[in-house]
Amino acid sequence: MAELTYRDAVAYGIAQEMRRDPNLVMLGEDIAGAGGVFKTTVGLLDEFGPARIRDTPISEQAILGAAMGAAMTGIPVIAEIMFSDFIAVCFDLLANEMAKSAYMTGGQLSVPVVVRTANGGGSRFGAQHSQSVENWCMMIPGLKVVAPSTPADVVGLMAASIRDPDPVVFFEHKSLFASKGEIPEGEIVDELGTARVVREGTDCTIAALALMVPRALEAADRLADEGISAEVIDVRSLVPLDTKTVLASVEKTSRLYTVEENPRLCGWGAEVASIVADEAFWDLDGPIVRITTPHIPLPAAEALEDMAIPSVDRIYETVSKTIG
């Protein structure tokens, strides 16, 4: 077991797969010589060389286009989009092109691309460099969407995403880069579409993603002091979505909370809530409660950003007040 930061786990996971598959390549802005603006790709150029780790112009459409074209010929490609907010300038490539080629061509083409991108708030960067945009991608048929919360999951889900034959958007959370965790020895390969119960409990289920997972866990600790036993689920993968794990948990706890960093409207928790309402309504003892960032652009000032994004306090207070 080695302890790694979430940041280092990114390069660790990519390196594991690059050693396994000599065809795997990566491209993006400032990823090679500079090691990435978040230093998530440090060391990769040295080990794998400039033909496999390639710097690009500031041309997000060209980046995703090149990734897609190469992938259609069978070469697996990792493309980095520096900040997830920038997905908006190349959304055509994601939403209209990669996502639809398999279907539109009657299965003639597939697109084994992983689009890695730094997502989420907490860095006081303001409204254009802090968004949680997983819901932008989740709503497109043909895209898979993953957002790990721990270094070990970064490695395992990275491997699973790279080995997946479909386009996967891989959200790395900016505010988790400095967090640390144990990485098991040897090759780590996880599975897409699997949520994980990260804390068992009996009184309520709290489903969370990425940065919201450690916050939900901390809130659960405080709830325990009050005698409330919260089960925390790390959703990990939005598409495919592991509804079984959530439904099984709700069957046990009878209460569901979602903790979402995305702005409220059409956040991933809305889909989870709707599925639980449809399929586990009679298990529920109370309304499903969504704890989200409000429907506003994110402010820059730390005081304001901290009010906007669900905090440990807000999760704790919301559950404590509503669980009845």
Partner 1 sequence: MSIDLNDPALLDYSQRPPRHPEPVDPANDGLPIPLNVRTDLYKRVQELRQFEKRAYDLFMQNLVKGTSHLSLGMEAVSAGFAAAMQPEDYVFATYRGHAHTLSKGADMGQVMAELLGRENGLLKGKGGSMHLTHAEANMMGSYAIIGAHLCIANGTAWSAQMRGTDQVTVCFFGDGTTNIGAFHEALNFAKVWNLPVVFVCENNLYMEYTPIDLVAAVPNPAADRAPAYGLESIVVDGNDPDAVYMVAADAITRARRGEGPALVEAQTYRHGGHSRADPGKYRPADEVEAWLDRDPIPMYHQRLLRLGVPEGRLSEITQDVARRVDEATEFAKAGAHPGEEHLFTDVWADGGSAWRN
| Interface contacts to partner 1, rule CB under 8 A | 25, 51, 54, 56-57, 59, 61-62, 64-75, 77, 92-93, 96-97, 101-110, 112, 141-142, 165-166, 193, 239-244, 275
Phi, psi of 127 (to 5 degrees): -70, -20
CA distance linking residue 25 with residue 92, whole number of Å = 22
Single out the catalytic residue among 29, 60, 261, 271: 60
What tokens does 238 get?
Answer: 């939005």
- Tell the residue number behind the tokens 């709503």, with chain if given: 139
Tell me how far apart the terminal alpha carbons of the chain are, to the nearest angstrom: 42
Q: Measure Cα distances from 277 to 71, 135, 252, 289 in Å.
A: 39, 20, 15, 11
CA distance linking residue 18 with residue 24, whole number of Å = 6
- Tell the residue number behind the tokens 């009184």, with chain if given: 203
Q: How many other C-beta atoms are found inside a 10 Å radius of the C-beta of residue 264?
A: 16
- What sections of 90-150 are H helices per DSSP? 91, 101-104, 134-138
Element at 63 (helix H, strand E): helix 60-72
Residue 228 CB, nearest approach to partner 1 (Å) = 29
Residue 164 CB, nearest approach to partner 1 (Å) = 8
Q: Which is nearer to partner 1, 6 or 170 (CB)?
A: 170
Query: Are the C-beta atoms of 60 and 81 separated by less than 8 Å?
Result: yes
Strand 144-146 and strand 113-119: the pairing is unpaired
Residue 231 CB, nearest approach to partner 1 (Å) = 19
Single out the catalytic residue among 17, 29, 80, 129: 129
- Tell the residue number behind the tokens 């092109």, with chain if given: 97
Q: Which is nearer to partner 1, 93 or 298 (CB)?
A: 93
Residue 197 CB, nearest approach to partner 1 (Å) = 15
Q: Which is nearer to partner 1, 240 or 286 (CB)?
A: 240
Question: Does the annotation mark 60 as catalytic?
Answer: yes
Residue 116 CB, nearest approach to partner 1 (Å) = 17
Q: Which is nearer to partner 1, 61 or 128 (CB)?
A: 61
Q: Which is nearer to partner 1, 71 or 188 (CB)?
A: 71
Question: Does the annotation mark 295 as catalytic?
Answer: no
- What residues act catalytically? 60, 129
